[in-house]
């Protein structure tokens, strides 16, 4: 039981760290060296990635199928180690999509659509009503539908949803196998 709890907490931390990174990541070209690979992220100025494209990416897809939805990512292989590969599709509008593959099958996807037009109207009181073990449907009854931010596939299917207020304050919920395993907020009143 203790080992299972540690594994679940680990996945929660990974998803939450990924969420925070994608919200606060720098929005300019970055070059860094990872082991023997030099990786440069350059923003595309003409391609706009959408939430609709993100939602079309499904479990079981391979790189070629994802590329058919998002287009060429200009070689933005993020330098993960074979058989695991990570790719980024990004542009100068702060809309980015990251997809991780294992043996050429999708493992997880993330997006960075910071969209205050969602105007979720969530509060600290709403946040306090949420508890570990709730289903997504129970969360929706309190907050309304959220925006899918990340999704991991496999035996322990995981998702992160966000509710973004017009002032940029955010409430996030992490689910594993449709059960809340964590929650966070930034700037709620």
**What was the pLDDT predicted at 86?**
84
Higher pLDDT: 77 or 69? It is: 69
| Spatial separation of the C-alpha atoms in residues 18 and 25, rounded to whole Å | 10
Residues 105 and 60 in one domain: yes
Does residue 104 share a domain with residue 40? Answer: yes
Q: Give me the pLDDT at residue 116, please.
A: 59
Q: Are 143 and 106 in the same domain?
A: no
Q: Does residue 102 surpass a pLDDT of 90?
A: no
Give the model confidence (pLDDT) of 7-65 as tens digits: 665 556 556 555 545 544 444 434 334 443 333 344 445 567 788 889 999 999 998 99
Please tell me whether residues 45 and 59 are part of one structural domain.
yes
Lowest-pLDDT choice from 24-33, 79-88, 167-176: 24-33
Q: Quick one: 107 and 124 in the same domain?
A: no
Quote the CA–CA distance of 67 and 60 in Å, as a whole number: 14
- 87: pLDDT strictly greater than 90: no
**Which residues constitute the domain of residue 68?**
30-111
Q: Is the pLDDT score of 145 beyond 90?
A: yes
Question: What is the arithmetic mean of pLDDT over 104-123?
Answer: 83
The more confident residue out of 133 and 25 is 133
Domain end (from 111, 136, 164):
111
Residues 183, 163, single domain; the answer is yes
What's the rounded mean pLDDT across residues 107-128?
85
* Percentage of residues in the chain having pLDDT higher than 90: 40
The domain total for the chain is 2
- Rounded CA gap, 62 and 180, in Å? 28
pLDDT range class, residue 154, cuts 50, 70, 90: confident
pLDDT band for position 174 (cuts 50, 70, 90): very high
Exposed / middle / buried, residue 161 (Cβ in 10 Å: 0-12, 13-18, 19+): buried
Same domain for 70 and 84? yes
94 and 41, same structural domain? Answer: yes
The reported pLDDT for the residue numbered 80 is 52
CATH of the domain at 162: 3.30.1450.10
Q: Is-contact 170 160, C-beta < 8 A?
A: no
pLDDT at site 178: 93
Place of tokens 């180690």: 81
Question: How many other C-beta atoms can be found within 10 angstroms of the C-beta atom of residue 7?
Answer: 12
Q: Measure the CA–CA gap between 120 and 165, rounded to whole angstroms.
A: 5
């Amino acid at each position: 039981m203790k080992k299972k709890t540690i594994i679940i907490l680990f996945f929660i931390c990974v998803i939450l760290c990924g969420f925070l990174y994608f919200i606060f990541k720098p929005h300019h070209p970055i070059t860094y060296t990872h082991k023997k690979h030099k990786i440069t992220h350059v923003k595309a100025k003409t391609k706009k990635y959408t939430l609709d494209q993100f939602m079309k990416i499904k479990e079981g897809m391979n790189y070629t199928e994802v590329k058919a939805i998002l287009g060429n990512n200009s070689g933005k292989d993020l330098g993960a180690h074979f058989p695991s590969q990570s790719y980024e599709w990004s542009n100068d509008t702060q809309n980015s999509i990251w997809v991780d593959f294992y043996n050429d099958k999708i493992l997880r996807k993330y997006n960075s659509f910071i969209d205050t037009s969602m105007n979720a109207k969530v509060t600290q009181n709403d946040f306090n009503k949420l508890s570990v073990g709730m289903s997504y449907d129970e969360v929706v009854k309190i907050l309304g539908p959220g925006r899918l931010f990340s999704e991991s596939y496999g035996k322990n299917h995981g998702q992160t949803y966000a509710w973004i207020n017009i002032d940029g304050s955010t409430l996030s919920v992490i689910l594993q196998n449709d059960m809340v395993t964590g929650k966070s907020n930034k700037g709620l009143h």
